[in-house]
Amino acid sequence: MVAQNKKAYHDYFIEETLECGIELFGTEVKSIRQGKVNLKDSYASVDKGEMFIKGMHISPYEKGNIFNKDPLRVRKLLLHKREINKFLGEAMQQGYSIIPLSIYFFGSKVKVEISLAKGKKQYDKRDDDAQRDSKRVIDRALKERNR
């Protein structure tokens, strides 16, 4: 796992996930290997039957000189047509977005895990925080009891 979009789990209900490839240049892959990638404000969209990831920041490779590309450029995701159509059909519903969750290496290939996500309201976020806090208190109490 190179990078993870932790903000996505806080801001969205994750409905469905899918692993896909991403079209990159050599210096971008080298920069990802160094962990210099940020998925925080990125999202995916469909344009002319192809899916693209936007807002993903890959820092320029230090030794890349003239071969470095724009850090925020739009990158193509490698998916089958039926997968794109399935995600697009579900994303057309009210409040759904396609959000990248993580980026990682599978052998020598870079993979992106994208998800179909529905935005949370403020009260949903507060409920999640309250549940997480109560679970933490219960775990502490059980740990103290077992000592």
Q: 39, 144 in Cβ contact below 8 A?
A: no
Using alpha carbons, list the distances in angstroms from residue 41 to 5, 35, 79: 9, 17, 21
- Rounded CA-CA distance 18/4 in Å is 15
> Does domain 3-119 match CATH 3.40.50.2020?
no
Instruction: With 0.75 as the threshold, say if the pTM is over it.
Output: yes
- Cβ atoms within 10 Å, residue 91: 17
CA 1, chain centre distance (Å): 11
pLDDT tens string 97-143? 899 999 999 988 999 999 998 888 888 888 888 998 999 999 999 88
pLDDT computed for residue 81 by the predictor: 92
